[in-house]
Structure 1
Amino acid sequence: MRLVILCFWIWAASAAAAAVAGSDMEALLEFGRGIRQDPSRRQAAPWNPTSSSDSDGCPVDWHGVQCNGGQILSIAFDGIGLVGNASLSALARMTMLQNLSLSGNKLEGVLPRALGSLASLQHLDLSNNRFAGSIPAELTKLSNLGHLNLSSNGFGGALPVGFRSLRKLKYLDLRGNGFVGKLDDIFAQLQSPVHVDFSCNQFSGSLASISDNSSVASTLQYLNVSHNVLSGPVFASDPTPLFDSLEVFDASYNALTGNVPSFNFMISLKVLLLQNNKFSGSIPEALFRETSMVLTQLDLSWNQLTGPIRRVTSVNLKYLNLSCNSLQGTLPITFGSCSVVDLSRNMLSGNISVVHTWGDYVEMIDLSSNRLTGTWPDQTTQFLRLTSLRISNNLLAGELPTVLGSYPELIAIDLSLNQLHGALPKNLFTAAKLTYLNLSGNNFAGTLPLPSSETNNSTTIDLSVLPVQTSNLSFLDLSNNSFGGPLPSGIGRLSGLVLLDLCLNNFTGQIPTSITKLKHLLHIDLSSNHFDGSIPDGLPDDLVEFNVSYNNFSGPVPSSLLKFPDSSFHPGNELLVLPRSASPNSPEGSGGRKHGMKRGILYALIACVIVFVTGIIVLLLVHWKISNWKSSEKGKGQNKNSATQGQDAPQRRAEIPSSEMHDVSLGSSPSAEYGGVSVPRGGMEGQHEAQCVDQPTGSISSLKDSSASSMPSLISSPSDVRSHHHQSILRVHSPDKLVGDLHLFDNSVLFTAEELSRAPAEIIGRSCHGTSYKATLDNGYVLTVKWLKEGFAKSKKEFSREIKKLGSVKHPSLVSFRGYYWGPKEHERIIISDYVDATSLSTYLSGNGSQLSLHQILASADLYVF
Structure 2
Amino acid sequence: MKMEKLYTFLLFSLLLAVASFQVRSLTLTPSLNDDVLGLIVFKADIQDPTLKLSTWKEDDDTPCNWNGVKCNPRLNRVTELLDGFSLSGRVGRGLLQLKFLRKLSLAKNNLSGTISPSLVNLESLRIIDLSENSVSGFIPDDSFKQCGALKSVYLANNIFSDKIPGTLGSCATLVNIDLSDLGFEWFEVPDEIGSRLLLRSIDFSWNSFSGPVPQTMQKLSLCSYLNLSMNSFSGDFPEWFGEMESLESLDLSVNNFSGQVPDSIGKLKSLKVLNFSANGLIESLPASMENNVDLLALNFSQNLMTGELPGWIFNSENKVGANMDNVNSISLGPSLQKIQVLDLSQNLFSGVLSFDTGALSSLKLLNLSRNSLVGPIPGTIGELTALDVLDLSRNQLNGSIPTEIGGACSLKDLRLNANILNGKIPTSIENCTFLRIISHNKLSSPIPAEIGKLSNLENVDLSFNSLTGTLPKQLANLPHLLSFNISHNNLRGELPAGIFFNTISPTAVSGNPLLCGSAVNKSCPAVLPKPIVLNPNTTADSISGELPPNVGHKRIVLSISALIAIGAAAFIVVGVIAITVLNLRVKSSTSRSAAPLTFSAGEEFSRSPTTDANSGKLVMFSGEPDISTGAHALLNKDCELGRGGFGAVYRTVLQDGRTVAIKKLTVSSLVKSQEEFKREVKKLGKISHPNLVALEGYYWTPSLQLLISEFVSGGSLHKHLHEGSSGNYLSWHDRFRIILGTAKSLAHLHQLNIIHYNIKSSNVLIDGSGEPKLGDFGLARLLPMLDRYVLSSKIQSALGYMAPEFACRTVKITEKCDVYGFGVLVMEVVTGKRPVEYMEDDVVVLCDMVRGALEEGRVEECVDGRLQGKFPVEEAIPVMKLGLICTSQVPSNRPYMGEVIKILELIRCPSEGQEDSG
Scaled to the shorter chain, the TM-score interval is: 0.5 to 0.7
Question: Structure 1, residues 774-801: CA drift from partner, whole Å, max 9, x if none?
Answer: x99999xx99xxxxxxxxxxxxxxxxxx
Q: 2:401 is matched with which residue? A: 424
Of residues 484, 489, 494, the one that matches 1:534 is 494
Corresponding position: 1:177 with 2:154: no
Cα distance in 2 for partners of 1:63, 1:371 equals: 54
Q: What is the CA-CA distance between 1:178 and the residue it aligns to?
A: 0.9
1:224 is aligned, of 203, 206, 214, to: 203
Does residue 473 (structure 1) correspond to residue 435 (structure 2)? The answer is: yes
Q: 1:438 to 1:760 in 2, by over 3 A?
A: closer
SS at match of 1:495: coil
- Which residue is 1:764 aligned to? none
Kindly state the Cα deviation for residue 156 of structure 1 after the two structures are TM-superposed. 0.8
Q: SS at 1:66's partner residue?
A: strand
Match of 1:402 in 2: 379
Q: Structure 2: 5+ residue runs without aligned partners? A: 1-19, 316-324, 527-571, 599-610, 620-671, 689-742, 760-775, 787-791, 793-805, 827-881, 899-913
TM-aligned CA deviation for residue 159 of structure 1 = 1.2
Q: Does 1:277 align with 2:302?
A: no
Instruction: Report the CA distance between 1:657 and its aligned residue.
Output: 0.8
CA shift in 2, pair 1:103/1:489, >3 Å: same
| 1:302-451 aligned within 5 A | 302-311=278-287, 312-316=289-293, 318=295, 319-335=297-313, 353-359=329-335, 361=337, 362-377=339-354, 379-429=356-406, 431-450=408-427
Measured at CA, do residues 324 and 651 of structure 1 come closer, stay the same or move farther in structure 2, by a change above 3 Å? closer
2:657 aligned residue:
none
SS at match of 1:515: helix
Residues 252 and 490 of structure 1: CA distance in aligned 2, closer, same or farther (over 3 Å): closer
Tell me if the contact between 1:712 and 1:728 (Cα under 8 Å) persists in the aligned partners: no
5 Å matches for 1:519-598?
519-540=479-500, 547-552=508-513, 557=518, 569=520, 573=522
Q: Distance in 2 between matches of 1:253 and 1:447?
A: 43
Structure 1 residue 231: Cα displacement: 1.3
Cα 1:536–1:108 change in 2 (3 A) is: same
Report which stretch shifted further, 431-440 or 19-28.
Answer: 19-28
Code of the aligned partner of 1:655: E
Aligned partner (choices 425, 437, 445) of residue 484 of structure 1: 445
Equivalent-residue separation in structure 1 for 2:416 and 2:314 (angstroms): 29
Q: What secondary structure sits across from 2:342 in the alignment?
A: strand
The alpha-carbon distance between structure 1 residues 135 and 63, as it changes in their structure 2 partners (threshold 3 A), is closer
Q: CA deviation at 1:26?
A: 7.8
**Residues 590 and 296 (structure 1), Cα distance of their counterparts in 2 relative to 1, 3 Å cut:** farther
Q: Tell whether the 8 Å contact from 2:510 to 2:520 is kept in structure 1 after alignment.
A: yes
More helix by share: 2
In the alignment, what sits opposite 2:861?
A: none
Secondary structure of the equivalent of 1:183?
coil
SS for the counterpart of 1:287 is: helix
1:314 to 1:408, Cα distance in 2 relative to 1, 3 A = same
CA contact (8 A) 1:492 1:517 kept: yes
CA distance in 2: counterparts of 1:554 and 1:177, whole angstroms: 56
Q: 1:399 corresponds to which letter in structure 2?
A: P
Deviation for aligned residue 1:62: 6.4
Q: CA deviation at 1:385?
A: 2.9
- TM norm structure 1: 0.57
RMSD between superposed Cα atoms in Å:
5.7
CA distance in 1, matches of 2:577, 2:131: 70
Q: Which residue is 2:106 aligned to?
A: 126
- Counterpart AA for 1:441: A
Q: Residues 172, 716 of structure 1: CA spacing in aligned structure 2 closer, same or farther, 3 A cutoff?
A: closer
Q: CA deviation at 1:535?
A: 2.2
Deviation at 1:502, TM superposition (A): 2.0
CA displacement 1:317-345 (0-9 Å, x = unmatched): 514322222223333221499xxxxxxxx
Alignment-derived partner of residue 562 in structure 1? none
**Paired residues of 2:47 and 2:88 also in contact (CA < 8 A):** no
How far apart in 1 are the matches of 2:464 and 2:498? 24
Matched, 1:253 2:230: yes
1:197 aligns with 2:178: yes
Question: Structure 1 residues 542, 202: CA separation in 2 closer, same or farther (over 3 Å shift)?
Answer: farther
Q: Deviations over 1:631-686 (max 9, x none)?
A: xxxxxxxxxxxxxxxx99977774261586169xxxxxxxxxxxxxxxxxxxxxxx
Alpha-carbon distance in structure 1 between the residues aligned to 2:217 and 2:47: 52
Distance 1:477 1:597 in 2: 45
CA contact (8 A) 2:457 2:481 kept: yes
Residue type of the alignment partner of 1:450 = T
CA distance in 1, matches of 2:32, 2:49: 26
> Conserved in 2, the CA contact under 8 Å of 1:360 and 1:382?
yes
- The AA in structure 1 aligned to 2:201 is Y
Q: 1:333 to 1:301 in 2, by over 3 A?
A: same
Q: Distance in 2 between matches of 1:196 and 1:29?
A: 29
Per-residue CA deviation, residues 504-540 of structure 1 (Å, 9 max, x unaligned), is: 2333333222211111111112222233332222244
Identify the residue that residue 93 of structure 2 maps to in structure 1: 113
Contact 1:247 1:271 (C-alpha < 8 Å) held by counterparts? yes
Write the distance in 1 (CA, Å) between the matches of 2:811 and 2:47: 54
Paired with 1:778 and 1:67, the residues of 2 have a C-alpha distance of 49
Distance 1:728 1:482, change over 3 A: farther
Q: Does 1:503 align with 2:463?
A: yes
Q: Is the CA contact (8 Å cut-off) linking 1:146 and 1:168 kept in structure 2? A: yes
Partner of 2:273: 297
Output the amino acid matched with 2:198.
Answer: T
Quick one: which amino acid aligns to residue 813 of structure 2? Answer: L
Determine if contact 2:394/2:419 at 8 Å carries over to the other structure: yes
Deviation at 1:23, TM superposition (A): 7.5
For the Cα contact (< 8 Å) 2:330–2:352, is it kept in 1?
A: no
- Offset at residue 280 of structure 1 (A): 2.0
Deviates more, 1:542-551 or 1:131-140: 542-551
Aligned to 1:704: 756
Give the match's secondary structure for 1:428.
helix
Q: Secondary structure at the match of 1:328?
A: strand
1:612 shift after superposition: 14
Q: Report the 3-state secondary structure (helix = DSSP H, G, I; strand = E; otherwise coil) of the residue aligned with 2:820.
A: coil
Letter in 2 for 1:734: Y
Q: Are residues 130 and 373 of structure 1, via their aligned partners in 2, closer, same or farther at CA, if it must alter by over 3 Å?
A: closer
Taking a change above 3 Å as real, the CA distance of residues 401 and 320 of structure 1, as seen in their structure-2 partners, is closer
* Counterparts of 1:350 and 1:269, CA distance in 2: 40
**Conserved? CA contact 1:205–1:231, under 8 Å:** yes
C-alpha distance in structure 2 between counterparts of 1:589 and 1:705, whole Å: 50
Correspondence for 1:146: 126
Q: 1:167 to 1:600 in 2, by over 3 A?
A: farther
Q: Distance in 2 between matches of 1:186 and 1:429?
A: 59
> Aligned equivalents of 1:376 and 1:351: distance in 2?
11
Task: Name the CA distance, whole Å, in 2 between partners of 1:157 and 1:587.
Answer: 86
Distance 1:760 1:539, change over 3 A: closer
- Tell me if structure 2 keeps the 8 A contact 1:436–1:475: yes
Aligned-pair distance for 1:495? 1.8
Asked whether the 8 Å contact 1:315–1:336 carries over to 2, the reply is no
Number of corresponding residues: 600
